[in-house]
Structure 1
Amino acid sequence: MPKTDACERMLQSIRSHKNSKLENQRLPAILLHSIDNYIDSKSLQRTASVYFSALLALIKQSNGFDYSSIYILSIVMPATPSDEKLLHIDLLYTQIVPYLQKNNDDAPTIRCALNCTQEFLLSFSNESKELYLKAVDVVMPLLVKFSVDLRPKVRKISIQVLQTLKQKYDGLLPHLYPAIFDELQRSLSEVSNMDNPSFSKGLHTLHLLECLVDINQASGSDLGIICNALSRILTSNIPTSEPIFEMSIKLILKVLSERIDALSDAVIYELCDSLIPYWYRALSVTLLLYDNFVNRNPSRGIKGIQTLLEKILDFCISPLQSSESDVEYDGATSSDILNSLKFLRNKFTMKFVNKKNWATVLSNGIKKVIKTITASSRHANYAKALPRCSVYLQLLLGAIPEDQISELLPAFSVVARAIIKNKLVETPECLDLFKIFIQKLASPTFLECLGFADNFCNIQKSHWLPEVFRDNITGETPETFFDCFLPTIEAGNSQWWELLPLYTKAGCITNNLNENTLKKLASAIYNDRSCHSHVAQAFVDLTKIENVRQLISSNSSNLIGVLGNTLATMKNDDSNAEDLVMAATSIFSVAGDQQLQIITNLCESAPLSEPSLGSTGVIKLFPALLSISPADTWKPFLPHLVKLFDIAIPSNLSQSLSVLNFGPGLAYRLLQATLSNERMISAIVPVISRLYDSMNSVGDGSQALPKYVALERLKTWKLLFKLLPNDEFHLLPSAIAEVVLFSKHHDDDLRAMAFELLVEVGNRMKNGGKINMSLIDGEEPNKTVVEANINEYISMISANLMNDSLNLKVSTIFALTRIFYEFSDYIDDDYVNAVLEEVQSSLQSNNQEIARAAVGFIKMYITSFTKSKVLFHLDTLLPLILRWIKEHNAYVKLKAKQLLDRMLRVFSLKELEAFAENETDKEWLQRIWRVRRSRGDKKVVDNKRDASDSEDLAIKNPMNKKAKVGKVDFRKHEKKLNKASMHRDKFSTGMHTSKRVQKKN
């Protein structure tokens, strides 16, 4: 919104409060009315500049301002030109600044004064840099002071002013940062030195620091000031649970994480010395400082780290050295220290410590851990110390170099076995310890530390182990799994199969995988249902490993045989069937010369003509293999595929739905797999006409097929349409007739698929091709070859209007509606006129279903074609529609009204009245026109469609499932509609009831 419009809107709002009971609303309104009267008496325009001048005169006359004057001034200043504001700069220095310096009580007036200050500063920044910097030096301390004010609204407006100025002018930082740092030091010093401090102001100061100071732009000296100020909070007696303490930790960690190298040595030394006595309050900060300190002063840094790690270890084992359940540190709880240790796991790197110094740092600590844990196994607080020691080892593991990890293994082994013995594995700290170590160690070494290497009974009892291994195994070969876990699996513990994909998914080269191992995997699939998904995924992964493919290829026939036999014992809807099919497909893809033998074995072991095969999971295997098979392998299968449609179902199985419909269902899926295989296309094209004939021969009654079979059939037609050569379009009419029937199907998905196919075929025809008319059934044998185009496509579809089938006629009108809408720019006028004449005759039909479909076509025609084309047929269309209003039931009347409403969007009332046959028709037109006018819709829309009718929308956009043909069952509402019609006829205009009926619809 422009500033002038916003100003006028706000002033109008103020004027409306003249009689308000609230003083802060009434007084500004009275003042504004007085100014308005003065401006009007002087015959001036009510502009922001005029109000600005009047208010300045009033303030000077009163030798100061009150809330009313400064409030209105803050509203008009944004719309006042900058040059006018610069002429009155004295207002800032003589009135506003002194007021802000002396008065702290009246918050509303302060907020308005701050807004005026912002407007002056913005004007200065645009016009005069010198004036701007002078003003900034004066007002910056005030803005910072009010930015930490205890009143939220004052604080908010002050921060907004500072943020706005910072964005507008980059040169503000040298003036802004010193003011913020002064306030930071002052407020934090007060907080840390007071006996009973109020933390609010200090917290607001930290918030100001976070909002306005960019750590990456601050200088090293500025960062030093920030760290020193924040360290006062960390070393004070403020409880660690206070928000000001937590925010101080957050800010100083941000500085150390992003800009620690910018801090001077003196600052680092000072911070380390001040924080080491309070390490338990700010452990993360202290450790990060010493981590960097090593690089600046190795001897002092190593000594400090060693001291700090000793203190941390003493904390971890303190429960074992005291009878108390927990040891409290001054102001810091054990959970605070543990959380700090967890935070440091990946940030404490010790990258500047060499190997010799590492040995010094680690040796005493590791020995102390081993000794204490071993000697205190019966202590009452033993379970309390183990999670702490786990976090301590995690800290060291995150910092230690890779080649030094072996130094930690003795301590890890002692702690890990103690954790397992005391059943503490599922505590978060202990579980994290295992997960972090498995990422660093090989599986055999890890299991050896846990004591599982030679004792598989322990592995069997460790139900938590899969969670430790899951998502933490990297770069290990499958042999590791077979060596570590296969023995316990063979002992009857099949749950360990879930770890197998963790070792195979990495794709590492393996040299020791042998045929015997593959047999064990295949045997597991056949005998153990619980391992299906895991072993199947392993086979998929193994086929991707280069040096394993040959081994799998040589055993592919046996492996796929086992998978096929297993699938034959599974139900078709079994959740594991897809996994086994995926494994078989992967193995088949690397089978090479054995593919033909594999297919032969499968066909012999599971005859495709066997109806009972439909209830097993093996039916999913054939399409999957067919989709990736070479053409030569499956050429002999194509004739059998065509015969597959003629399967006879035994009478004793006819009651089973899945068996009854299995034959065509599988045939369609197999045919789809064939048609989608690019290597099979050369084998398919020569028999494409045979496939069309086969599809048509089993197409009778396709409307009655179960949904899943009908969908598979339409998907097959889609692929056949795509592969049809451009010179064989004579095969289309019979197929199109079936698809047209589906365009009226009661199921939304089938109807949407049918419309999609009709449009795709239309695009093929639009791009050209040949139609041999003599080869089309029912055509004369001596007809010529014609060029394919949209007009010929319209002829193919509209030919179905001559059929005696009521269902086909209605479906054809629906299909034509969609095609005309989609290709309106490509259809010749002669074809449009011919189809429209047929549809007009349908409008006169006494069959409501046919007439309803015709209404949908007319609605599309009116809104999708040009006005001139619609006008050509208006003399016949309008009387038919008006006849509908007078002769049909409430639902049909409603549709007819909608048609007339659409016409009134395209034509004027006079244009339509010219085609009315009598005065009654004119009255109906005038009535509908008045309804439109009462709704306030006076626009004439040319060539736009209306998305209000769900049935029409489904024809135009069938993929929109929110509005589809048949979605609303008007039969359920027929009584209501008839009742509404009766009430409507009682009124001469029909306006009120018409609106109500339309709203219900």
Structure 2
Amino acid sequence: MTTVADARTDHLIGIMEMDDKLAKIRSQINSKLENQKKMALVLQTIDETLKQQNQNATPITYFVSFLTLLDQCCVENEIKDLPLATCALYFLDLVAPYAPTKLLKSKFSDILVRVAPTLTSDVADAPLIRSAIGFLESLLLAQDAKSWNNSGNFKISPKRALSALLDLSLDPRPKVRKRAQEAILNVLKKIPQGTSSKKHEHPASSYASEFALNNLITLLNENNIRLKSSKDDSNSQPKVIHNLQLITSITSSNAWPLKQITPLCDVLLEICKSADQYLISAAFGAFEGMFKSMTNEIDAAKFITVLDIIFDLKPAQNDPHLAPSWLAVIAKAVVSFSSNVNSLEILVKLPDIFKSVGTYFLSENSSIAESASQCLIAIVVDGIKDKDLLSPPDVDSKLYEQVNFVISQIAEITSDCLTVRYRSSAAFICELISTLFIKLRHRANPGFLNHLELIGNWRSNEQDGFELNEISEKVIASAISSIGPELVLQVLPLNLTDPKKVGRAWMLPILRENVQMASLGFYVENILPNVEFFQKKVENGDPNSVNTKIFATIIDQIWSLLPYFCFLPTDLQTAFTDEFAARISGLLYEEVQLRPVLCNALKNLVVTEKQRLNEEGDDIILNQQFPQAKAKEDLEYLSTTKATKLLSVLFNVYTQIPMDQRNYVAEAIEPYFNISTTEDMVSTFNKVCSLLRKALDDEIKEGSLTRDDASKPQPKNAVPKLSVTMMDLIVMMTKYIPSDSHNALLTIFNETVRIENSQIQKRSYRVISKLFEIENSDSQSIIMSLVSNIMQVFIETSPTTLPSARPQRLEALVKLIKLLPRDSLHYITGILSEVIDSTRSANEKTRTTSFTLLIEIGNKFKECTGEMIRNTLIDSDIPDSQATIQELFLMCCAAAGPEIPHQRSAAITALSCIFYEFHKELDISYQKELMQFVEVFLHQNNREVIKPTLGFMKVAILTLPEEEILPELKGLMTLFLAINNKHKNHFKSKIKHLIERMIRKFGFDVIDNCIPEEDKKIINGIRKAKNRASKKSTENTTASSSTTSSNKVGLSAYDRALYEDSDSDDSEEEVEEKPTKGKSKGAVQYISESRDIPLDLLDKKALSQISSSKSKKFNRKSIESSFKTRDGKLVIKESNDDDDDILANKDSLNAYVDAVRQGPVRGQKNKLKWKKQGASDNWDGDDDDDNKEVDSKSKNKRGGNNSKGKGGRITKSQPKFKARKKF
């Protein structure tokens, strides 16, 4: 119940909303748009009138005022002043929602009579009618059930107003029609006050639905009559679509009466037979509106009735028009019911739905069978909810059993679909079964194990050309990821070591791609022992034999499964024992080729558990099967019992391998740092620091740590120095050591950063970068207190930093500047010259990072605007200054002062960078001053200075406003062209590009007037190039369209007949291949059977013997006859190059490849070309015989396959010339 206080609050909120809307209109009094200005003037006049009459500006006074204004515009049911009437109705539409309901209810007849002329007048335009519709909507929303029922039989009633809206909802004007349909939706959606609780629908719903349905039927009948009389029906289809949109509005409001659902569904499904996609889309919209509107438990019975009606309208099995549409409607209906009403209720009905839809798998039309599959897949994916698939104790045992029964029924129905009877739809049915495995997950056991066995046997037959192999593997993959590899391998065992059983080595790659959250113990006990068996085979066999290589491949595939069995293993604490960890450790030392796999497995153990612990998703089944508490227990187990020992092993392996092979070991080490206890991390860190200290002392004594160490040629696979390795480990553990050890870390940085060795310096700066990435609050406070000291070290070590370590140093500075306190800005002065110099470095990474650092410095100055920069602490000769963005520009300008070309060039480059980034923070006058300052350097003779200066001028010209550049444009153009002439076109391309950009901004004519007469050729060249480019693009467009058309008609009927694929005559001596009989127009299917064992069509395995292609058997007799005479004598024929019949090769794959290689292809102008016998990559046409000699000569000149080197030796073709510079 709404209280008086709530009603008063709603009233006040409504008045505030209305005032806001009116205030917005008042602000448009000076608008350039005439209609907005007129609205504001009318409102101003009304406000003044109310003020003169001493009336308050309330919804009632506004309503009465605008209604009176509307009366003045209409005389004798005709509109005399259309613009004023439009304004009056616009304001009535705006004010009416806030007017008292009693007023709109009691004066309904009087108000409707006054509005009627605006709807019936011939001069009424769309804006007027839209406002009238909105006003009518507010009027109708205010009426109660008594008014709608019209018990007094009044001539003017709400239904009469609704009738007007219904007529307008079919109006040809789009905006009017849409507004009317929205109004109908809103009116019917709101149940009027006083309506009986038993009758949960609007009193006018029957009237509106009858109007829409009758009108639609009439339109369809008229349409059919036009079709029979062969008349144009193009005008009727839009009307049908408009009517369907009206029906969508009514169904979306949940106002369609139950008694009229049957005729509606019948008509909508009839429309779905149409080939017009717009009509079908509109019909689906009506269905969807009906389904989406029923969202409450109250609507369950109505929804079930709708579903029953739709199922009663089930079309014929082979109806290509209606069946796909009906299936799409079924999918939408079931999914809507499950999502909005009751998922469990629809789940119980799924077996009946599967039976009804499953009959379409017998259709002779493959598209209908595919639609049936897609329908059921949509129902499975979106209609079955995860909450109904949970197991006890999260759900009631009764519910669990009920769902189990439903799943078993679905399994039985789908199992019947895997018989020979459904052979033509087998691929679609397998897609459905794959989806069922993925959706049902653990609940697919045991109901779908028979499906898995049957489909697995299809794949195990390994019949060549069997088109279900791929989809069979997809089903098996879905089963592995859903019910786990343990159950799958029980049903389909690998049988790798038993030659008497069917081997399934082909399942190893499928397992690798789909295993997750499985039993690690199962892998250790049942799969891994196969390695020993095949290892013995490899050791005892010929290393060059095919079998030995196959055995080695199987070993690799078995080991490759380990990382995936370590992905959230369900039995980590029982399976990952000390014994197994010791075995892994031994293999890491002994088997070099297994190290990537083993490291990946160790990494997955921690990373997947950590992700599960930190990210609790919406997957409620996963939360039940693998709760976060289990992940936490597993990580604690690894942390307390395995982490330290495994880290020791990984450290030892890390120190033994070359630099370029360490990544996978480092990726395995870092996760164990993450889970190690604080005590273990401190102990490990201290040990590494001790080893680093000892290694540095030893290497310094030996003299191996020198400045030129990095430039020395390193032997291949050389192991780095121990000091470098220890620094790598410290970099990795920086983020994970406790804050108490940060002082020791900074001591290491302070010492190692001063060692003049690039490898050590790089890692030293990386330590600082990693340190600044720590997000722990305790660590952050300690780091912030040490920032000034760290910055001081950076300033001191600037001269000793080696060029190859400069990028890492600048990266650390980027992070350091972000944390720099407001009172330490003077340190920026100490590093700025280094940053500026780095912008002209030969190292690309150094240049890029220096630009990033400059931008960070600019942001820091913006953030700390007004703070004092105490430059005297760095250099007593530099006065203190205030932090502003202008101060940064001033510092860069000062760096351009010394007459050192490289330094000046770097300063101008830095200015270009920060000018582009921060020019919006500067006044226009300051920007012009900077431009004039840099322009001076254009007069210098040094090209190193001129090049970045031209870049700055381009940035400045393109960013400054046109009016600021135009007065200077002529002088700038003269200067640019003078530089071009002075330096002998050295800057020609750069200046040309600059002029092109200026032409884009100012136009051809402006730039042309600014160029001296003697240099006009440059702009003429630009103009000609642009014209040529546009002309070429036009020609290319025309040529492409003509080529397309010629391709369609270029082949003559003779050519098409000659090169069209034809059926081959295959031998049928050994295999009986019987085309299946049927009325289907699809591909012919063949049954492959042995003469000794006839095919049992009642056996489900028979499906694997039916294929769409003819299978071929190994022809023993033909090969024997090729090598033996009648009396058994062995005959070896000499090869004859002239007799090269490629089709005589019994290897069909090779024969096909050879045929493609030697067959004709079509080249330019549709000419046939054959491949030359002598070269694999050269093609020659049938009409180019005259050029063969020339081609062979040019080939020898180019250094082809037969080119001779010095002394007549055959040499390889020379590589093509490659430019040193990359563009």
| Structure 2 CA distance for partners of 1:668 and 1:223, relative to 1, 3 Å | farther
Deviations, residues 710-755 of structure 1 (Å, cap 9, x unaligned): 3222223345556777787776655332223235558662452352
1:441 aligns with 2:473: no
Contact 2:908 2:949 (C-alpha < 8 Å) held by counterparts: yes
Q: Distance in 2 between matches of 1:502 and 1:522?
A: 18
Among candidates 333, 344, 348, match of residue 379 of structure 2: 344
Among candidates 706, 712, 734, match of residue 626 of structure 1: 734
Among candidates 642, 647, 668, match of residue 765 of structure 2: 668
Q: Post-superposition shift, 1:839?
A: 8.5
The aligned counterpart of 1:536 is: 603
SS in 1 for 2:178: helix
Contact 2:452 2:476 (C-alpha < 8 Å) held by counterparts: no
| Structure 2 CA distance for partners of 1:187 and 1:571, relative to 1, 3 Å | farther
Q: Distance in 1 between matches of 2:906 and 2:453?
A: 79
Q: Distance in 1 between matches of 2:660 and 2:425?
A: 51
| Structure 2 CA distance for partners of 1:664 and 1:207, relative to 1, 3 Å | farther
| Structure 2 CA distance for partners of 1:736 and 1:184, relative to 1, 3 Å | same
Q: Post-superposition shift, 1:267?
A: 4.4
Contact 2:784 2:819 (C-alpha < 8 Å) held by counterparts: no
Contact 1:711 1:750 (C-alpha < 8 Å) held by counterparts: yes
SS in 2 for 1:408: coil
Q: Distance in 2 between matches of 1:502 and 1:6?
A: 67
SS in 2 for 1:344: helix
1:551 aligns with 2:613: no
Among candidates 266, 270, 274, match of residue 231 of structure 1: 266
Deviations, residues 744-789 of structure 1 (Å, cap 9, x unaligned): 558662452352254366469856468484774xx58xx9x96875
Contact 2:835 2:853 (C-alpha < 8 Å) held by counterparts: yes
The aligned counterpart of 1:162 is: 177
Among candidates 902, 908, 914, match of residue 807 of structure 1: 902
1:890 aligns with 2:978: yes
Among candidates 415, 421, 425, match of residue 460 of structure 2: 421
Q: Distance in 2 between matches of 1:827 and 1:368?
A: 75
Q: Distance in 1 between matches of 2:1014 and 2:814?
A: 52
Q: Distance in 2 between matches of 1:451 and 1:126?
A: 70
Q: Post-superposition shift, 1:180?
A: 1.9
1:328 aligns with 2:394: no
Among candidates 759, 763, 778, match of residue 858 of structure 2: 759
| Structure 2 CA distance for partners of 1:422 and 1:283, relative to 1, 3 Å | farther
Among candidates 736, 753, 774, match of residue 832 of structure 2: 736
| Structure 2 CA distance for partners of 1:254 and 1:863, relative to 1, 3 Å | closer
Aligned AA for 1:672?
S
| Structure 2 CA distance for partners of 1:691 and 1:889, relative to 1, 3 Å | same
Aligned AA for 2:216?
L
Q: Distance in 2 between matches of 1:764 and 1:360?
A: 67
Q: Post-superposition shift, 1:370?
A: 6.9
Q: Distance in 2 between matches of 1:388 and 1:94?
A: 60
1:517 aligns with 2:580: yes
Once the two structures are overlaid, the 10-residue window that deviates more, 834-843 or 710-719, is 834-843
Q: Post-superposition shift, 1:1000?
A: 12
Q: Distance in 1 between matches of 2:83 and 2:585?
A: 84
Q: Distance in 2 between matches of 1:622 and 1:841?
A: 51
Q: Post-superposition shift, 1:584?
A: 1.3
| Structure 2 CA distance for partners of 1:792 and 1:428, relative to 1, 3 Å | closer
Among candidates 308, 312, 317, match of residue 274 of structure 1: 312
Contact 2:904 2:945 (C-alpha < 8 Å) held by counterparts: yes
Give unmatched runs, 5+ long, in structure 2: 1-30, 39-73, 91-111, 141-155, 190-203, 389-395, 535-553, 614-630, 700-704, 999-1004, 1027-1223
Q: Distance in 1 between matches of 2:531 and 2:328?
A: 45
1:180 aligns with 2:282: no
Q: Distance in 2 between matches of 1:290 and 1:852?
A: 66
SS in 2 for 1:163: helix
Q: Post-superposition shift, 1:333?
A: 4.2
Q: Distance in 2 between matches of 1:893 and 1:453?
A: 82
Q: Post-superposition shift, 1:163?
A: 1.0
SS in 2 for 1:696: coil
| Structure 2 CA distance for partners of 1:227 and 1:478, relative to 1, 3 Å | farther
Deviations, residues 649-699 of structure 1 (Å, cap 9, x unaligned): 7xxxxxxxxxxx545433432343345554773895696477235522315
| Structure 2 CA distance for partners of 1:856 and 1:546, relative to 1, 3 Å | closer
Deviations, residues 103-130 of structure 1 (Å, cap 9, x unaligned): xxxxxxxxxx996995796598599987
Among candidates 809, 831, 834, match of residue 713 of structure 1: 809
Q: Distance in 1 between matches of 2:228 and 2:931?
A: 91
Higher helix share: 1
Q: Post-superposition shift, 1:266?
A: 9.7
Identity within the alignment, %: 13
Give unmatched runs, 5+ long, in structure 1: 9-51, 59-72, 97-112, 147-156, 317-325, 650-660, 871-877, 895-965
Under a length normalisation based on structure 1, what TM-score does the superposition of the two structures give?
A: 0.57
Q: Distance in 2 between matches of 1:363 and 1:814?
A: 74
Q: Distance in 2 between matches of 1:276 and 1:882?
A: 80
Among candidates 695, 704, 711, match of residue 797 of structure 2: 695
Q: Post-superposition shift, 1:446?
A: 3.5
SS in 2 for 1:697: coil
Aligned AA for 1:445?
L
Aligned AA for 1:515?
D
Once the two structures are overlaid, the 10-residue window that deviates more, 839-848 or 528-537, is 839-848
Contact 1:283 1:337 (C-alpha < 8 Å) held by counterparts: yes
Under a length normalisation based on structure 2, what TM-score does the superposition of the two structures give?
A: 0.48
| Structure 2 CA distance for partners of 1:218 and 1:479, relative to 1, 3 Å | same
The 5 A counterparts of 1:284-323 are none
| Structure 2 CA distance for partners of 1:837 and 1:347, relative to 1, 3 Å | closer
The 5 A counterparts of 1:13-412 are 125=136, 137=163, 140=166, 144=170, 157=172, 160-167=175-182, 170-171=186-187, 174=204, 177-186=209-218, 205=240, 208-210=243-245, 213-214=248-249, 217-219=252-254, 221-222=256-257, 225-231=260-266, 252=287, 255-256=290-291, 259=294, 261=299, 264=302, 267=305, 271=309, 274-275=312-313, 281=323, 282=326, 328=364, 333-346=368-381, 384=424, 387=427, 390=430, 406=445, 408-409=447-448, 411-412=450-451
Aligned AA for 1:546?
K
| Structure 2 CA distance for partners of 1:57 and 1:888, relative to 1, 3 Å | closer
| Structure 2 CA distance for partners of 1:496 and 1:87, relative to 1, 3 Å | same
Number of residues of Structure 1 aligned to a counterpart in Structure 2: 779
Bigger relative contact order, structure 1 or 2, given CA contacts below 8 A and separation 6+? 2
Q: Distance in 2 between matches of 1:510 and 1:435?
A: 23
Aligned AA for 2:837?
L
Q: Post-superposition shift, 1:213?
A: 1.8
Q: Distance in 2 between matches of 1:972 and 1:588?
A: 54
Contact 1:89 1:120 (C-alpha < 8 Å) held by counterparts: no
Deviations, residues 608-665 of structure 1 (Å, cap 9, x unaligned): 766568989967654222343335557556555445456677xxxxxxxxxxx54543
Q: Post-superposition shift, 1:561?
A: 4.5
The aligned counterpart of 2:1076 is: none
Q: Distance in 2 between matches of 1:837 and 1:143?
A: 66
Among candidates 965, 969, 977, match of residue 990 of structure 2: 969
| Structure 2 CA distance for partners of 1:183 and 1:355, relative to 1, 3 Å | farther
The aligned counterpart of 1:594 is: 680
Aligned AA for 1:669?
R
Aligned AA for 1:514?
T
Aligned AA for 1:749?
T
Q: Post-superposition shift, 1:181?
A: 1.8
